[in-house]
Amino acid sequence: MNPKKELLKKEVRTYYETHFDSTKEVSKRFGINERTLYHWISSEKWQAGKLVKNIESKKIVEQMLKDSLGSQTTMAKGVIKEAMKYNMQGLYSVYQERILDNAADEILLKAMSEDFINKQMVKTALIAQGEFNRYASISIHSEDPNAQVIKLARDVISIFSDMKKSIYSKDDDSYKLKINNFISGVASKEEIGALSDDEIRQILSNTKS
């Protein structure tokens, strides 16, 4: 087998053993013949999902994402990847890194329950609100809002907004307008200062339709 095809086979095996997709789905994803894939699976005894079967992803998430978000998410993802590499029993190579990276992302997202995401949305919003309050207290005489602080709040909230599209499904247009202004950065200083903690909680936690 030529080197290029050998590398492809390693990628295919890594994907197959980090997922539970059918042979048809895997062959279509990598553009290979399904019979060829089946031959590889049979002759080398590949096992679907083998590398992720014993990874307690929910426990990892619960332990590592209790207090903070950004760096702890990276750490949790790293733990999951290392567990998969360990399960490969020395067969890991740098060429399989991309597949493992994507698989770790998928596992991490599945482990984040809807309740966890909702709680993080509220926590993030309250942090952003605290930053706005702090800005307002030290720049009360400024004519223009601090674009950097607004952008930071928008970017952080957008992470969870993307994961919870239903945030825009409520019928209350006033809350829709407020959250859209909050995220897009067009809210005035007066509007920002008028948002109470309770209001932020209500805007971001009422995500169920």
Q: Domain end: 92, 112, 132, which one?
A: 112
pTM beyond 0.85: the answer is no
170 is written with which tokens? 């409520």
Alpha-carbon distance 118 to 132, whole Å?
21
Co-location of 12 and 107 in the same domain: yes
Q: Is residue 175 classed as helix, strand or coil in its secondary structure?
A: helix
CB atoms within 10 A of CB 149: 18
Proportion of the chain above pLDDT 90, given as a percent: 13
Indicate if the alpha-carbon torsion angle 29, 32, 35, 41 is positive or negative: negative
Domain check: are 37 and 108 in the same one?
yes
What local confidence, expressed as pLDDT, does residue 204 receive? 52
Distance separating alpha carbons of residues 114 and 6, to the nearest angstrom: 40
Residue 208: per-residue pLDDT: 38
- CB of 87 within 8 A of CB of 104? no
What's the number of domains the chain is made of? 2
What's the pLDDT tens digit per position in 91-105? 666 557 777 887 877
Question: Is 171 found in the same domain as 101?
Answer: no
CA distance 21 to 25: 6
Please say which residue of 63, 79, 112 terminates a domain.
Answer: 112
115-167 pLDDT, tens digit per residue, is 566 666 666 666 766 666 666 566 555 666 666 656 666 665 665 565 555 44
With 50 as the cut, is the pLDDT of residue 170 above it? no
- How does residue 12 score in pLDDT terms, banded at 50, 70 and 90? very high
Summarize pLDDT for 39-65 with one digit per residue, the tens.
999 999 999 988 887 676 656 666 655
Are 100 and 141 members of one domain? no
Q: Which domain holds residue 39?
A: 3-112
Question: Is residue 84 domain-shared with residue 120, that is, in the same domain?
Answer: no
